[in-house]
Each structure stands twice: as structure tokens, then as C-alpha cells.
Structure 1
Amino acid sequence: MEVKFGKKNEPSFFLEKSKDLIAVRTRDNQPISTKLSATMPAGIASGELVLQFPDAGLEVYRVPPGQQSVNTRKTSLRGLPEVRFAGSALVDRLTGEPVIYTENIFIKFIDSLDEQSCLAILHAAGLTVKQRPAYAANAYFAAAKEGSGTLVFQTALDLLQRKEVEYCHPELLRQRKRRAIHPNQWHLKKTTVSYQAEIDASANVEAAHRLSQGEGVVIAVIDDGVDIEHPEFAVPGKIVAPADVSDPTASTDPRPKQAGDNHGTAVAGVACASGRYGASGVAPKARLMPIRLASDLGSMAEAFSFLWAANQGADVICCSWGPSDGAWFDPADPLHHQVAALPASTRLAMDYAVQQGRGGKGCVIFFAAGNGNESVDNDGYASYEKVTAVAACNEYSRRSIYSDYGHAVWCAFPSADITHPDPSIRPEPEPDGRPPRSRGIWTSDRSGGAGYNSGSIDSGDQWGNYTDDFGGTSSACPGAAGVAALILAAHPALGWQEVRNIIAQSCDKISHPGDGEGGQYDGKGHSRFYGYGRVNAENAVLIAKRLAQAEPQPAPALPVD
């Protein structure tokens, strides 16, 4: 099956039916394993669960070799009254990664086409309108007739060939990967860790707090949920326009809904924890817009999250997730070469946030570069030109071994590092064998032991409200987003691109002998490992304040007689 996430003349990617995977959806979206019993036909209940897509109510199973064929299994499952759909799973032709289609199609007509003509084309194609996204003119999510199956791919391609159509693609779901690698806030200032080791590899945030703490700025964290009752967030006025874009029944409740949804609380803490009790965010006085996104990569909800953030007043948008990474320690993993395209549906929503957010000055969007030790340029999300991609650097001012690299990396921010399983490649973060001196980044955790820390002082604090081993580019991304909030608090009139440029100008040029000569910075001061370098928050705020002072001030209002 051919798919085009871009325009007619832009590249395609291809999916094919898996020979051993089967996708199953029940009528009540409950796991198929709970519906089957010993009385069912032989072989149906067996199979390895390899993926779940709860938002779509889908599960993907691998059929064991030597048992029923995929076709036989599908036929048997389709005969069960509890089963709504059973079919072959699709996989990426290059990497074998499972991809789910929903029989929904995203389509954007040219701006000059009138609504009646748009609807007539959809009707003629047998499509029913499900949603009209507000982030783009003449855009629709439409549903094909149930049971259309893979015919939606050809329908989308046929529509895209029409002169009236600008974009058209099926709604495809991939697993959305959090980019974490699991009382030290060494990323904020020079810090003595474990009473003995001094770390001086911070983003110089504490010094910036003399000038700005993010006052009046709103950071939107799009993630798996945020514990808004956590002591660091339960501050009057801290939470702004909370949302759950994946669950219509809980549309204003952004709290985690499932066990293991710990990521968003830690991310939000790095960005803007208030610092009143046990952890300070980079921008402690910034307000937090928590947006729970539990849906899969490429979903309608994913696009809507950016629309919500822009319309509800977000200044900065933080996304510590993206496509699947290859195994950072295995250079032979085929996922390293996967090109994960950015769907037009999500790209247009990002464009809306950049063009319409902040009264036209634009939201500043940050993405984690990725933890695959691979090229970020293959990641259509983090490498999009209107996104700021953040890499991770460690306590020795060296690239964290898992951190993605490439042309799209804009900057680096301090985060955790780990040891390579093969000592001959990299025994420790330093060539001389010095081990990590900290477990990771200290940040907020789901309260009362529900999160990463179950309540052990060895993992954070004894109450389980904080964790000391958060890491990955998941932690670097909200750190840089917090610096953007410091910049905007110092100079609110800046546009999104100006904020990015200030971050680039602020950076410290770090390098390490293990990275090649001088960190491989080019003539424009850009390194494929660090972007423009490690963010220096104090430098960034000073630049913003100088620009604010240099701008002409409006004339004072005349007194009224």
C-alpha cells in the first residue's frame, strides 16, 4: 500500500501485509483475550500480544509458527459476535514496524474551493465527515464505509490526484514512544552530588533566575498525563486550560488514567515545577497547560492537541515523544533507517500553532530529538523546520550516548547518561572509565508512590513524590522549553523564530575528544551532536533583555482633560 503524507509530488512510503501478525478489534474495545474461552475453536486464543492501541481499541498478535495460518485465524475470529474487525496487520516495508489503519481519511482541499464542492467530492468517494479541524481551511477527517479495509489507501491516492485536493492520506497509527531513559538538580547549577562529586555541566539556570523565572508564560506539556495535584503544581493559578484530547468523557481532566503513565508528570516538573517543596523547574513561575494525549502517533487527537494549545493561550509547547527509535546500542537495528514521515494532519496543526498562536507571534514548539543514537533527520516530527529539536548532553559535557544527532538538532540540554553494554565501545560516559556521578535528573513524580519512585529514598524521596533518575531527550526537551519561557518572560514581544535564534546565540560550545575534532561544529557554529551547543539560560535571558531595552517604547498616553 502506498501512502503520501505530503503533496502529490512529495515522496511516498509503502506498507505491506504481515505474514504472521493479525490485528483484532472487539466491539466494546476490551482485550480479545477476555472474550475467549476454552470452548472457542482451537488455536484462536493462542498468540503473542505484541502491540496494543487502546485509543483505537486494537490489539496486534503474532501467530505462532506451526499453528493456524493467519487467514484461518482471521476467518475464525470474524465469526465471533464479540469481534468487530480481524485482519492482517500492516507493517512498514523497510523496518517491519506494525502500522494500524482506521478507515478514516484526512483530506485538505485547496483554500479557494467552496464548502459545497468539498462535501460533494467526499460524498462521491463514499466518505462521511467525522470532524472539521479548525487549524486549516477546507480540512476534514472523513470515514470510509465500515469494512472498506485497505481500500482506504487507494481512495486516498485517487483523491490526492484531483486538482482540488492539496493533501490526502489515511489515518495511520504507530506506537507513540516516550523518550525517557530511566536530590540532584545539577542541570540547573554547579552541584555537589552524593556529598562528594561536583558537577559543573549545567545549563546555568540558577543564574538566570535572578533575571527571569517565567512569569506570565504558559508552557503546554503534551504527554501521557500530569498529576496536577502534585505539590509542585497545586499552586493557585499554576494550571491553565487542562485537557484530555484522547478521552471525550474526561475532556478537562489531564491526570494519568493508566498505570505506567508517569512520563508527563516528570516532563512537566523539569519544565516548570514551582520549586516550593522538592524540585524546581527551569521556569518555576511559568504556568502549566497539561494536555493528556494517550492516542497513537498520527491520530486525530494528536493534531487536535496543538490546536488546543494554541487556542487556549500556550506560549511554549513541549513534546517529549515521537516515532519508535532503534536500539541505541545495536547499529544493526533496522529501525535506525526508518523514515517516519510527519502526517499532513499534524503538520498543519503545528503550522497553525506557529502562525496563529500568541496572537500571531507563534508558539515555540519543542520536540525531544530521540534516544536511538541515530539520525534525527529521519524523524519527521523532531526534524520539521518549525520545531526545535533538543539533544541530550551529560555531566561530563559530552553527548549522552543514546542521543540522536543530525542537521535538525538545534541545541542540547543536560540529561542522564548510561553505560554501553559492550565495554569495548564505551565502558562509561568517560573514556578513562569514570562512572556517572548522578542517577539522572531530579524532578516531580506522580504523588504517593504511584510513579517511577514507589517511595524509596534511594529512588528519590521517601514519600514517592520525586524521582532522581529521569533522563533521555525526554528530560532535555522540557529543559529547553523552560528556557524559552524565561526568554519570553523577559521579552514577551518576541516571535517564535526570534526565541529559537536567542537560544542558538546563548549556547556554550561544548565538545569532547570522543565526538571527533572540536565537536564537529561547522562554519555556522552548528554541530550535528549538540546543535548550536548546550543552552546557557543566563546568556539567553540577558540577550532577550537587551533586545527588549533596544526596542522603541510606545509614547505615554496623553492626560485626559
Structure 2
Amino acid sequence: MEEVNFGNKQTRSFFLEKSKNLIAVRSHSGKDLASALCCEQAHKAIGDSQLVMHVADADVLVFKVPQASCLSQRKALLRALPDVRFAGSVLVDPLTQDAVLYTENIFLKFIDQLTPTECEITLKELGLTIKQQVPYAANAFFVSHRDHRGTDVCSFTLKLLERNDVDYCHPEMLRQGQRRAIHANQWHLKKTTVTYQVQIDASANVEAAHDLGQGEGIVIAVIDDAFDIDHPEFTGSGKIVAPQNFDRRNAKQGPRPKNTFERHGTAAAGVACANGHVGASGVAPRASLMPLKLTKPLGARAEADAFFWAADNGADIISCSWGPAEGHWADPTDPRHTQDFPLAASTRLAIEYAATKGRDGKGCIIFFGAGNGNESVDKDGYSSHPMVIAVGACNDQSRRSAYSDFGNALWCCFPSGDQPHPDPKFKPATSIPQTRGIRTTDLSGKFSDTGNGAYTELFSGTSSACPGAAGVAALMLGVNPTLNREAVRQLLADCCDKIGHVDDGPLGQYDLNGHSHYYGHGRLNAHRAVRLALQRLEAEG
């Protein structure tokens, strides 16, 4: 059992165990791992195995072998291959058996009182080599130690954390993340009659807000898998700002998708700020888009770099429709529902840098999708961070979407699609289908494979709700750019419609502070949000 601490001395540690049926394989630098494993010897080792995780940027594959296998023999076969650098054990979460990869990188932050020279001397005394001095926190580094490899890095970092001059120390641990999607019909923007000839009045009142502003001059950074920046809804002077690809190997191609599977970011960006010139409008159609491509597992140092890049390159708002793997929304026995997911110190510090230093000190407004597991958002270190706005999903009947996460950290909700109720006896209030998604942008040009003209009506989940809320914030900042992060957060709470249903039970009820576990402060009302922002400007003027 290996102990890991993603925080500081006051943070609770968590424990990982070695898997009995997983093998991690890594190639030598510059060698293609797929080619290295296309031989008879590799087939003997993993021919009957299942690929469960692929970290392309680091050339790491994780295989699940049959239970009765001898792991040591299979590892020996793989290690004998000339292009294989490493074939070893995989740590897993004891509760869920999810793979957790460790790298040779260690995140280390000394106390702020040390001088740069003292940091360098201490690193040298400890035998640590600097791989990156991070720009989003003082005295913070990614380092490595030549004598501490494999699982030994876990105990080594815990020992370093005991030092009085160390604030944070943990290995770079990678977990598989999850995009938070479930699946003229833009019913989420206005009261409208959709294809089904049913009138829907469950929107965020965005169309009315457009009479006051459309996000002019505001930059929304979306961190996601890839972006079709050649899409007609993202054209125009100044629409794309400071694009970046944080996948080291494919950095030169920019944020564009490399295949048809990388379409999540295009849809999310469209919800936030699509132009609305052809087939779909974003909530803030005149806002600019900063597309930041990030496909690495959770916890990678590139994750923190993306937040720093956004803040340092002029982003006003950061939208993240991803997070830890979740339990199945309709299965209450899924062990992931009770799993705590800690936030790596490097990512935490980068988020705090963006939230406090961004926008010339007024702070970037950071949104995360609350999650689609029908579980507590408070166990998710990303969405529950106090400087993050966690966004839930509500459906076309003004009720919580069945999958949407809930809890103390949930701040608000935004219209999105839904799933059929898990109880077959459940009867909705109307005959409206419960699986209607959001109309937004999809892959165009050479990547368009759906025949839908580069648009989709199937985007849903808190993946859609999150950029919708980010768009509302852009409308507010467009009319009142003087608002700081805390002011925007409070006005978002103040603008909400208190939706719900008598069948929601105690979790759906609003407390004396106007907060509900199911809805946060309620469903965002964009028109009211913009009016409140204007009123604040007039009062300060």
C-alpha cells in the first residue's frame, strides 16, 4: 500500500495499492510504442490483454491481463524488448480499482520565505534536478531524483513533506478524466417551440439579455480536448485569441482535433460563444474564444500550465467541462459515488493564481461542470474548490437533470439535457421527451462525419451547462468590466430563478441563504444577471 498526499501537512493522505492484473508499458523516448509491441514476444505478454488506458504524450499504455496470469513473467517479456523503457506495476484506487499512474516528476513548493538562492541550494543538497520552475506559485518546481523511481517516489515525497521549509510535495499522479457530456431548437436560450411542436419555457432568458449586450470585448478560455477553430461559427477578426495545445507531442497542430473523436471542446465552445451567424448561437456570441487543448490525464503538470496560460494571456473567464471519473448516475451502489478525488497541489495553485492574478488582479471567473454522476460534488476536488463556480444541469421541465451532481459546493444550474428516469414508474409532468439536448457546434469540414451540417442537438450533461454559465458571466463583464471575481460570483447567485419540484424532497429545498443542494442558488437568468451588472456600474459611477 502506497501513501500519497496531494496537499500540504494538514491535508489527509490517501492510499493506493498495487494492481494484481494491470501492467504499465512505456517506450524509450522517440520510439513508437505501438510498433514496439508488434512482435511475437509482446504478443505472448499482452496478446490476451485489454488496453484500459493510453497516455499518448508520454508513450504509456496500461493493459489488463487475465486474473490467473503471472505478472512477473509478463513484465519480464516486455522488459526484454529493445524499445521498451519500462514495464511495471500499476497503482490503483482500492475502492474503484481505477488506474493511477505515477511519473518521474515530483511537484515541490518551498515556503514563501525562502530566497531563490536558498531554494536552489536545498534542491541541490536533496539531489533534485529541476525540470520546470512553475510561474503560477512562488518557490515551486517540478523536479526529479535519479535514485527514486517507481513507487519509491511516493515515500520519498512524504518524507520531503515533513521538512519545515516545504509547503507542498507530491508525485505527479495521472488519472483518467471524464468529459462531462452524456450524449433552431435552442430552447435553453429562449422560450420557443421546438421540433416536437411543444412549447418549452425553461430557458436561461438569454435572448432578452442580448438586447443589453452580447459579450463584446470578453475572452472565454475553454480548456478541453480539441477545437474546430475553422468552424463558421468561430470566424471573424479577433474571435480566436491565444490558442494553445498542451499536448507536447502534437503541439504544432494547435488546438484543432486530430480525429473525429475529439469533438467535445467544439461543442462546449459553441455553447459559450458561437457567433450565431449560421446555425447556432452561443450565450455570448460576440465574446472571443481562447481554445486550450488538453487531453492528458488528470493531475498532469500541463493541466496547471493551461490555467496559467489562460490568465497570463488575457482570459476573463475559464470554462472546464471535465473532471474525475464518476459513478453511474442511475446505480446507487457504484463505489465511485463515495470516492474522494483530491486536487493536485500544482493544479490548485494554478487555479488560485488565475482566480487572484488574472484580469489585472480582478481575477478570472472559473467554471467547472459539477459532474454527471448523480452524486456529491463536494467530493470532487476540482468543482468544489472555493474559487471555482460549480454548475449543475436542469432540464426542459425546470427540474434537476437526473444525472446532475449536487451538494454544498454547487453554485447554480443552467439548462441542459436529461436522461430517462431510472424508475420506470416515474411519470413526467408532461409528455415532453426527457432526453433533449442542446443545439451547438459540431465538427465541420474534413472532420464532419455526422451529416448534420456541423451542428448537433445531442450535446448535454454539465459539459453543456458549464460553458452556458460561462457565457452568462461574459454577458455581465461585457457591460461592466470593472466587476471582480467575487462580485460576479455573487451576482450570479442573485440573478437565479428558484426552480424545483415538490417531488425533489429536502435536497431540492432552498435554505435561508437561498441555496439548494439540487440547484445551488437556482437556474441562471441571463437577462437579470446583465441588469444587475449594469446596476452595479451605475451605483459605482
Q: TM-score, normalised by structure 2?
A: 0.96
Q: What does residue 403 of structure 2 align with? A: 402
Q: What does residue 559 of structure 1 align with? A: none
Partner SS, residue 545 of structure 1: helix
- Cα pair distance change 1:25/1:433, threshold 3 Å: farther
1:167-210 deviation line (CA, Å, top 9, x unaligned): 00000000121000113100000010115100000000000000
CA–CA distance in 2 between the matches of 1:113 and 1:517? 50
- Cα pair distance change 1:132/1:278, threshold 3 Å: same
Indicate which of 495, 511, 516 corresponds to 1:527.
Answer: 516
Unaligned runs of 5+ in 2: none
Q: What does residue 450 of structure 2 align with? A: 454
What are the residue-to-residue correspondences of 1:428-439 with 2, within 5 Å? 430=428, 434-436=431-433, 439=436
What are the residue-to-residue correspondences of 1:145-164 with 2, within 5 Å? 145=146, 148-164=149-165
Deviation of 1:268 after TM superposition, in Å, equals 0.3
Q: Does 1:468 align with 2:457?
A: yes
CA–CA distance in 1 between the matches of 2:62 and 2:303? 21
- Cα pair distance change 1:82/1:147, threshold 3 Å: farther
Between stretches 384-393 and 39-48, larger displacement belongs to: 39-48
CA–CA distance in 2 between the matches of 1:180 and 1:473? 6
Partner SS, residue 44 of structure 2: coil
Instruction: Give, as a single letter, the amino acid of the residue that structure 2 aligns with 1:120.
Output: I
Q: Does 1:214 align with 2:211?
A: no
Note if contact 2:109-2:169 (Cα within 8 Å) is conserved in structure 1.
yes
Q: What does residue 131 of structure 2 align with? A: 130
CA–CA distance in 1 between the matches of 2:399 and 2:56? 38
What are the residue-to-residue correspondences of 1:240-389 with 2, within 5 Å? 240-247=241-248, 250=251, 253-389=254-390
Instruction: Give, as a single letter, the amino acid of the residue that structure 2 aligns with 1:60.
Output: V
Partner SS, residue 366 of structure 1: strand
Between stretches 247-256 and 107-116, larger displacement belongs to: 247-256
- Cα pair distance change 1:413/1:158, threshold 3 Å: same
Q: What does residue 558 of structure 1 align with? A: none
What are the residue-to-residue correspondences of 1:140-179 with 2, within 5 Å? 140-145=141-146, 148-179=149-180
- Cα pair distance change 1:280/1:40, threshold 3 Å: closer
- Cα pair distance change 1:252/1:53, threshold 3 Å: closer
Between stretches 28-37 and 411-420, larger displacement belongs to: 28-37
Q: What does residue 441 of structure 2 align with? A: 444
Q: Does 1:58 align with 2:32?
A: no
Indicate which of 478, 482, 487 corresponds to 1:493.
Answer: 482
Deviation of 1:44 after TM superposition, in Å, equals 4.0
Deviation of 1:392 after TM superposition, in Å, equals 0.2
Deviation of 1:29 after TM superposition, in Å, equals 5.8
- Cα pair distance change 1:119/1:54, threshold 3 Å: same
Partner SS, residue 54 of structure 2: strand
CA–CA distance in 2 between the matches of 1:210 and 1:157? 56
Partner SS, residue 19 of structure 2: strand
Please give the root-mean-square deviation of Cα atoms over the aligned residues, in Å.
Answer: 1.8
Q: What does residue 36 of structure 1 align with? A: 38
Deviation of 1:378 after TM superposition, in Å, equals 0.4
Partner SS, residue 232 of structure 2: coil
Indicate which of 548, 552, 561 corresponds to 2:537.
Answer: 548
- Cα pair distance change 1:116/1:539, threshold 3 Å: same
The number of aligned residues is: 539
Unaligned runs of 5+ in 1: 456-460, 553-561
- Cα pair distance change 1:29/1:446, threshold 3 Å: farther
Q: What does residue 507 of structure 1 align with? A: 496
Instruction: Give, as a single letter, the amino acid of the residue that structure 1 aligns with 2:522.
Output: G
Partner SS, residue 358 of structure 2: helix
Note if contact 2:46-2:65 (Cα within 8 Å) is conserved in structure 1.
no
CA–CA distance in 1 between the matches of 2:22 and 2:525? 48
Partner SS, residue 233 of structure 2: coil
Instruction: Give, as a single letter, the amino acid of the residue that structure 1 aligns with 2:485.
Output: W
Partner SS, residue 231 of structure 2: coil
Note if contact 1:50-1:61 (Cα within 8 Å) is conserved in structure 2.
yes
CA–CA distance in 1 between the matches of 2:501 and 2:313? 42
1:235-281 deviation line (CA, Å, top 9, x unaligned): 12101111112236525711112330000000000000011111000
CA–CA distance in 1 between the matches of 2:353 and 2:459? 32
1:375-424 deviation line (CA, Å, top 9, x unaligned): 00000000000000000000000100000000000000000011145514
CA–CA distance in 2 between the matches of 1:314 and 1:222? 11
Q: What does residue 231 of structure 2 align with? A: 230
Note if contact 2:112-2:138 (Cα within 8 Å) is conserved in structure 1.
yes
CA–CA distance in 1 between the matches of 2:434 and 2:517? 26
Deviation of 1:33 after TM superposition, in Å, equals 7.0
Note if contact 1:418-1:436 (Cα within 8 Å) is conserved in structure 2.
no
Deviation of 1:45 after TM superposition, in Å, equals 2.9
Q: TM-score, normalised by structure 1?
A: 0.93
Partner SS, residue 173 of structure 1: strand
CA–CA distance in 2 between the matches of 1:534 and 1:167? 38
Deviation of 1:60 after TM superposition, in Å, equals 1.0
Deviation of 1:78 after TM superposition, in Å, equals 1.1
Partner SS, residue 295 of structure 1: coil
Between stretches 218-227 and 515-524, larger displacement belongs to: 515-524
CA–CA distance in 2 between the matches of 1:221 and 1:359? 19
Instruction: Give, as a single letter, the amino acid of the residue that structure 2 aligns with 1:65.
Output: Q
1:81-130 deviation line (CA, Å, top 9, x unaligned): 12111111100122221100001100000111122322232233332111
Note if contact 1:90-1:99 (Cα within 8 Å) is conserved in structure 2.
yes
Identity %: 57
